[in-house]
Amino acid sequence: MFKPIFTLTPAITKALMEVEACRQIITSLPLTVAILDSLRRTARLLSTHFSTQIEGNKLSPSQVVEVLEGGGRFPGRERDEAEVRNYYKALEFVLGHAPKKESLTEQAICTIHGLVISGKKTPTHYREGQNVIRDGRTGSMVYLPPEAKDVPALMKDLITWIKEELQCNVLPVPVIAGLAHYQYATIHPYYDGNGRTARLLTTCILHHGGYGLHGIYSLEEYYAEHLQGYYDALHVGTSHNYYEGRAEGDVTPFIKYFCVGMADSFAKIRSRAEQEHAKDTSDQTSALRELKSQQQKVLSLFARMKTVASSDVAKFFKISARAASALCLQWIDSEFLVIVDPSKKARRYALAEKYEVFVVAQTMDKRTA
């Protein structure tokens, strides 16, 4: 069984506290669907760019956007284009798959690798021979992973360990994710694509453990900005050989790097989310002033009821049924309300999407008061 050796140092504990503080603030912000979609889109593009850049991809951030959203083509960069498309597909798979209970299976991890390499949801087989990690500049050996015959057992052991740790709830989820990242890179189960898959596995674990933040952050951005630290932190043990010290090495340096990086990533997205919320709140205040007095008052009714009938409006304002029906029709014409049930006897109305955010804000204010 995988038994990592590490110490929860003051630096790691501080980083974990910062992660938790940012997590609580971000999840409490009443972000609109539009803001979440914008932040999520940016995070996916950043993750794709930086994770592939770490592996040598030469496409710039703007070119990545053009490839993924505009069908861009760059002669001589076909391989880079394919890597970007494949990683994006794998990331979408992870973000859609992570919340499910069955997400952390060996087959799912192999499927993620399949998407990274070929863009297809076909689980890949582990390497059948020895691979060697070399310094890109000098060509010297940096790390000799375990033999191919040992890979299946090591991977099965890793997946079992991840599941058990998430269930027993002893280690903080970020620490579990960091240790899993380290061990996957240590096993190096494939000839290619191990780094990208390790980072995606990390994302899967964080989302599964409640640290997904709606998919609006990018850990890969920190890795790329502190790349040498990333490689240095992965160099564990007294030897480059897996069987001569790597498996028993102290993983504390990598866990520190990982948690500090996660705290940095969460702080950045907290700042962005707060800025977007403040800007949106300013826009909402302007729009709120444009509402007539009765429209502003009826927002409190929608805070209690998702949809209303004209009879609810009549009771709320203490007016006649005919006056309430006429009022609802006026609000339909002004695009303040939308009809959600058109039947004459049971016609119901809801706020237009533009005004739903006011109700969310009121609800959040009450919860935090």
**Residue 237 above 90 pLDDT?**
no
- 140 within 8 A of 199, measured Cβ to Cβ: no
- What pLDDT is attached to residue 134? 84
Whether residue 199 sits in one domain with residue 299: no
pLDDT band at 285 (very low <50, low <70, confident <90, very high): low
Look at the alpha carbons of 127, 129, 135, 141 in this order and tell me if their dihedral is positive or negative.
positive
Domain CATH code at residue 124: 1.10.3290.10
Mean pLDDT of 23-45: 85
- 275 within 8 A of 32, measured Cβ to Cβ: no
Whether residue 189 sits in one domain with residue 322: no
Highest mean pLDDT among 31-35, 58-62, 285-289, 302-306: 58-62
Whether residue 234 sits in one domain with residue 298: no
The residue with greater pLDDT, 88 or 366, is 88
Whether residue 162 sits in one domain with residue 308: no
CA separation (Å) from 141 to 11, 17, 133, 239? 31, 38, 6, 11
Q: How far apart are CA 183 and CA 175, in angstroms?
A: 12
Q: Which of 278, 300, 327 is the last residue of a domain?
A: 278
Whether residue 263 sits in one domain with residue 299: no
- 327 within 8 A of 286, measured Cβ to Cβ: no
What rounded mean pLDDT belongs to the chain?
88
Mean pLDDT of 290-309: 84
Whether residue 312 sits in one domain with residue 228: no
pLDDT band at 100 (very low <50, low <70, confident <90, very high): low
Tell me the three state secondary structure of residue 260: helix
- What pLDDT is attached to residue 357? 64
Whether residue 178 sits in one domain with residue 126: yes
Residue 229's identity, in one-letter code, is G
Domain CATH code at residue 316: 1.10.10.10
Among left, alpha and beta (phi > 0; psi -120 to 50; other), residue 7 is beta
- What pLDDT is attached to residue 358? 65
Number of structural domains (the chain) is 2
- What pLDDT is attached to residue 121? 92
Rg (CA), the chain: 26
The residue with greater pLDDT, 166 or 355, is 166
**Residue 361 above 60 pLDDT?**
no
**Residue 362 above 60 pLDDT?**
no
Whether residue 267 sits in one domain with residue 310: no
Note down the domain range covering 364.
Answer: 291-368
Count other C-beta atoms under 10 Å from residue 255's C-beta: 27
**Residue 5 above 80 pLDDT?**
yes
Whether residue 220 sits in one domain with residue 100: yes
**Residue 368 above 60 pLDDT?**
no
Whether residue 257 sits in one domain with residue 308: no
Q: How far apart are CA 31 and CA 357, in angstroms?
A: 8
pLDDT band at 348 (very low <50, low <70, confident <90, very high): very high
pLDDT band at 190 (very low <50, low <70, confident <90, very high): very high
Mean pLDDT of 298-320: 89
The residue with greater pLDDT, 358 or 350, is 350
- What pLDDT is attached to residue 283? 55
Whether residue 66 sits in one domain with residue 14: yes
Is 303 among the domain residues?
A: yes
Identify the CA nearest to 176 among candidates 117, 302, 87, 262: 262
**Pseudo-torsion of CA 286, 290, 291, 296, nearest 10°?**
40
- 64 within 8 A of 251, measured Cβ to Cβ: no
